[in-house]
Amino acid sequence: MKTKMFLSGLMVLGLVGAASATIVVDSDWSVGQTIPDNSPAGMTVSADISSVDPGLASAGIDGVSVRLNISGGYNGDLYGYLTYNGQTVVLLNRVAGATGGTYGSSASGFGTGTLGSDNGHSESITLSDSGGTSIHMATGSPVPVGTYAPDSGGVLLNTTYSGMNPNGTWTLFLADLSTGSHGTLMSWGLDISVVPEPITWALIGFGGVAGAVALIRRRSDLSRAVKKLNEWVDAI
């Protein structure tokens, strides 16, 4: 009975792992580049990711969040998006103004506006589907470090990039759409997670079970041998 419970426990551990996301990218990149004032052409920065193990990469993206640390300028002037594998999600759309309107918030900056570190990351805002408040409604100056929903009109980061291989070139675009002041992109970052396919975890789990069975059998064989030896000694 105990043996069956032990083996069942190993199998359950393998199956529980199938529901757990694995973070495969957790990076920030320093930039320090001015966002051109009153220029729809804007600026782009890219990050080439190639470090994700092929076995995990093949499982496909489960979640994506973006960090932004922008100093100065008017937040309501900014429009920005993330592009990967031909798919785009809007991140900023003239914060605290009418969506797509002429003017937004006169607040200045997102995050601390420095290249300091907070738990290993630059002191940024995070744009994530899990954000409780849309960044479009943020009016702080600068917008405090925290997690916000992207200004995407309901388009989800996770859904857009779901199932894609995370290894590739990720591009951030930012544009200042009104004259008067300009901001500086201090840094940006990505968190990307995958959920390995159940078969991967199942193989791990069943491998553990097979090993346990072999160990139990070896111990059983040894016990029988010792018993036989004792019987032989007693018979002498």
Other Cβ atoms less than 10 A from the Cβ of 162: the count is: 13
d(CA 173, CA 96): 19
Nearest by Cα to 56 from 161, 208, 164, 130: 164
Look at residue 19 in the predicted model and tell me its pLDDT: 55
Q: In this prediction, what percent of the chain has a pLDDT beyond 70?
A: 71
Name, in order, each residue with C-beta under 8 angstroms of 153's C-beta and a sequence gap of 6 or more: 90, 93, 99
pTM: 0.76
pLDDT one-digit tens code per residue, 130-175: 998 999 998 889 999 999 999 999 999 999 999 999 999 999 999 9
Cβ proximity of 136 and 75 under 8 Å? no
pLDDT at 80 over 80: yes
Per the prediction, the chain carries an average pLDDT of: 81
Residue with tokens 């900056």: 109
Higher pLDDT: 228 or 57? It is 57
Look at residue 8 in the predicted model and tell me its pLDDT: 44
Beta sheet of 168-176, edge-to-edge order? 39-49, 168-176, 78-84, 87-93
Phi, psi of 13 (to 5 degrees): -60, -40
Cβ proximity of 182 and 35 under 8 Å? yes
The pLDDT-based confidence of 43 (bands split at 50, 70, 90) is very high
The radius of gyration of the chain from alpha carbons, rounded to an integer in Å, stands at: 27
Q: Which amino acid is at 83?
A: T
In a 3-state reduction of DSSP, which class is residue 10? helix
H/E element holding 176? strand 168-176
What does the pLDDT average to over 70-82? 95
Domains, in order of start, for the chain:
20-198 (2.60.120.260)
Look at residue 157 in the predicted model and tell me its pLDDT: 98
- Is the dihedral angle over the CA atoms 22, 24, 30, 35 positive or is it negative? negative
Nearest by Cα to 159 from 130, 202, 117: 130
Look at residue 220 in the predicted model and tell me its pLDDT: 53
d(CA 111, CA 124): 4
What does the pLDDT average to over 38-42? 96
pLDDT one-digit tens code per residue, 173-225: 999 999 988 899 999 999 999 999 765 444 444 444 444 444 445 455 545 65
Nearest by Cα to 79 from 178, 161, 177, 203: 177
- CA 20 to each of CA 15, 55, 196, 201: distance values in angstroms, whole numbers, following the listed order: 10, 16, 8, 10
Cβ proximity of 40 and 177 under 8 Å? yes
Residue 114 DSSP one-character state: S
